[in-house]
Homo-oligomer: A and B are copies of this chain.
Amino acid sequence: MYHSQMLSSICMPLAVLLQPHQTSSNKWDTERRLGHCTNVPRNVNMESLQNDYLFPEICMRELEHNRKYPHAKLIRLGIGDTTHPIPPIITSAMAQHVYGLSTVQGYRGYGAEQGNMELRKAIAETFYNDLGVKGSEIFISDGAQCDISRLQMLMGCDVMMAVQDPSFPAYIDTGVIIGQAGKFMEETGKYQNIVYMNCNPENNFFPDLSNTPRTDIIFFCSPNNPTGNAASKQQLEQLVEFARANGSIIIYDSAYAAYITDDSPKSIFEIPGARQVAIEISSFSKFAGFTGVRLGWTVVPEELLYSNQYPVIKDFNRVVCTCFNGASSIAQAGGLACLSPEGYLALNGVIDTYRENAKIIFDTFASLGFKVYGGKNAPYIWVQFPGLRSWDVFAEILEKTHVITVPGRGFGPGGEEFIRISAFGDKNGVLEASKRLRNLFK
């Protein structure tokens, strides 16, 4: 699983795409001299983006390393990509649906843009039992990342947002693309119009809300990517109270809720009053190994209203109908099988194997004397390297152990000094990585 020859297909096409732009500038120069150039201005928001998107960048680093050390046994604990096969009860259901598409009785064309109501109801029952979330408030998507972008289209460029720092980079990057972010300030590494809520060991990874200015939107991810920290019920109560007092909307990302092992809330809707201030995005990716199958959902409660009292759910429905056409019916059939008693049980077995990996990685760094966070309620381990630059740490680990991680700086300025290590991988690879890391840092 961790041979360099077995590099995932994810990186290869990217290299092909990026090569002409990144390496052969002469080619573009020739185009510019000889070719036709349109009079269409480049989108200033696209210009505001500072770097390539983080995870393709990690892929590029992996490729470069692979070229340098073609015979090294690379272990990929970087991008949070599931590696364990999907339980057969779930793939059987998808295959059955697929075969049905070749029959008159089983063929299905367009489904509802919002998703199959059977699946929407099953999600409501499985994840929001007793929390008052209705199937009609759940919108099935092709993944949480896609819905982040649709939520930004919904909100538009005139709102101001806050994000945890560090945070999953799509929140900020889609905010930049839609035009919310304002100017990038080199000295701080931050965008002018975005509020960065620092989350670090000193504040137990929960922002100091007494110092946080009011924004329209608050992105909040728990269990957190990248820190691996799950907010407590008391902390989320503070967050909801803060949003209510400020008239803000929380966009709560619960994509890693299935990894919670203690009594931390798995949904923002466990908090009283959240239905009037929160949207929740979630995903089958990490819960069911559906990273390649593509399936997620977003909950928009009916009670959530704009300042003019217009229901947010009506506008989100319009965005979903106009900018999306529903998730693949095959993925949806798989999603339904995930929520059957047998499917759900089997998936918990898979999650347990990732949890074991997380413990191995956590213990490795802890025993080496590092300050280590996460891992208990999330498949990510967050390790501090005081005084060091995270891209340097990333590079040194890669160079000396052939282990891919993610530098914390990729998640925002608040991630400097940290690296994120993913627990997705097979156990042998994780054990081998542990051995190499112990050798490096002993």
Contact = CB atoms under 8 A, between A and B. Distances in A.
Interface of A: 1, 8-14, 16-18, 20-21, 28, 31-32, 35-46, 49, 52-53, 55-56, 79, 81-88, 90-91, 94-95, 98-99, 101-104, 106-117, 120, 135-136, 142-143, 145-146, 148-149, 153-159, 170, 173-174, 177-179, 216-217, 244, 246-249, 273, 276-277, 289, 291-294, 302-311, 313-315, 317-319, 321-331, 424
- Taking chain A's interface residues, is the majority helix, strand, or loop, or is none over half, making it mixed? loop
24 contacts: A9-B111, A13-B115, A13-B135, A13-B136, A16-B117, A17-B313, A20-B136, A21-B313, A21-B314, A35-B276, A35-B305, A36-B276, A36-B303, A37-B309, A38-B304, A40-B216, A40-B248, A40-B306, A43-B156, A56-B113, A83-B109, A87-B102, A142-B328, A170-B322
A111 B85 CA distance: 15
Contacts of A323: 145-146, 148-149, 170, 174, 177
A363 B216 CA distance: 57
A288 to B, nearest CB: 11
A182 to B, nearest CB: 15
A249 to B, nearest CB: 5
Contacts of A44: 156, 158
A293 B330 contact: yes
A42 B316 CA distance: 11
Contacts of A331: 328, 330
A311 B28 contact: yes
Contacts of A179: 156-157
Interface centre among A21, A114, A156, A178 (most CB of B within 10 A): A156
A309 B249 CA distance: 39
A86 to B, nearest CB: 5
A298 B322 CA distance: 18
Contact of A13 (B18, B114, B303): B114
B98 A85 contact: no
A112 B326 contact: no
Nearest to A83: B109
A179 B113 CA distance: 23
B91 A99 contact: yes
A46 B294 contact: no
B149 A324 contact: yes
A135 B17 CA distance: 9
Nearest to A33: B309
Contacts of A304: 38
A142 B21 contact: no
A376 B35 CA distance: 37
A132 to B, nearest CB: 14
Contact of A9 (B116, B248, B307): B116
Contact of A38 (B41, B273, B306): B306
Contacts of A289: 101, 107, 109
A97 to B, nearest CB: 9
Given A13-B120, A98-B95, A117-B16, A159 B40 contact: yes
A115 B16 CA distance: 12
Nearest to A27: B302
Given A12-B112, A145-B324, A179-B156, A307 B247 contact: no
Between A247, A276, A330, the greatest number of chain B beta carbons within 10 A of the residue's beta carbon is seen for A330
